[in-house]
Structure 1
Amino acid sequence: MQYVISERPGAVLLSLAGEIDLSNSPQARKLILAQLDSGHALAVDLSAVSYIDSSGIASLVEGYQKARSENLRFALVAVSDATMKVLQLARLDQVFPLVASMDEFNA
């Protein structure tokens, strides 16, 4: 898994790439929670994620729950087809806020 963190006005964009699985989901979890600790809205770009397993999904769920509990905006941005299939299978596409772009997130 690779990642890039970009600060935007009032929000942080965390772009994840590659595979998110049991071997690196703890790192993904720490990245997500650390960005939320800043008190800013968080957009997680999943456009370059080629594979995600249940541990990766759990990291996203935990981040979303933390954002909700702290009244912070949170969304998944430009979700890749592979990741969307997993979200749909778990019906989490009905739970997570999903946006196509940062422009949509900021609207």
Structure 2
Amino acid sequence: MTEQWVSFSRRGVAELVHLKGEIDLANANDIGRAIVARTTTADAVVIDLTAVSFLDSAGVRLLDFIVGDLDDRGKPIRLVVGERGPARMTLQLCAFRADLLTTDLDKAAAELGR
């Protein structure tokens, strides 16, 4: 059911999560469950938000939860938000951790040393 919003692949040792479309109250919980199930054993996680067209507070809370969970387990994470776009704008407005935001997949991989 979540395939319309989330897909997965690998980039080196990192689990790569691709999100697309609108991430909001209607789907954030389902997306979160899919991400947690897939990233539980990952050494590192990259979440690509460049195809997200809308991100509301439920989506921000979802990302905050995932970041907190990975931080607690000592696993690095990066959020790919592009140079501009809805996800970047929303996360910046919410004062989301800027150290986790990057512009593209290559930079994310380099920052994770993978």
Fold conserved between structures, TM > 0.5: yes
Pair 1:70-2:96 in alignment: no
4+ aligned runs moved over 4 Å, structure 1: none
Q: Secondary structure at the match of 2:90?
A: helix
CA contact (8 A) 1:28 1:56 kept: no
The normalised TM-score by structure 2 is: 0.83
State how 1:1-20 maps to structure 2 within 5 Å.
1-20=4-23
Q: Secondary structure at the match of 1:45?
A: strand
Amino acid of the residue matched to residue 86 of structure 1?
T
State how 1:18-37 maps to structure 2 within 5 Å.
18-37=21-40
Unaligned runs of 5+ in 1: none
CA contact (8 A) 2:15 2:42 kept: no
Determine the C-alpha separation between the residues in 2 that align with 1:67 and 1:84: 21
CA contact (8 A) 1:84 1:93 kept: no
CA contact (8 A) 1:20 1:52 kept: yes
Cα gap change, 1:86 to 1:78, in 2 (>3 Å) = closer
Pair 1:60-2:66 in alignment: no
Instruction: Pick which of 77-86 and 67-76 moved more.
Output: 77-86
Amino acid of the residue matched to residue 89 of structure 2?
K
Identical columns (%): 29
Match of 1:86 in 2: 90
Determine the C-alpha separation between the residues in 2 that align with 1:98 and 1:84: 8
Determine the C-alpha separation between the residues in 1 that align with 2:76 and 2:55: 23
The normalised TM-score by structure 1 is: 0.88
Determine the C-alpha separation between the residues in 1 that align with 2:42 and 2:87: 27
CA contact (8 A) 1:43 1:105 kept: yes
Match of 2:51 in 1: 48
Unaligned runs of 5+ in 2: none
Determine the C-alpha separation between the residues in 2 that align with 1:58 and 1:50: 17
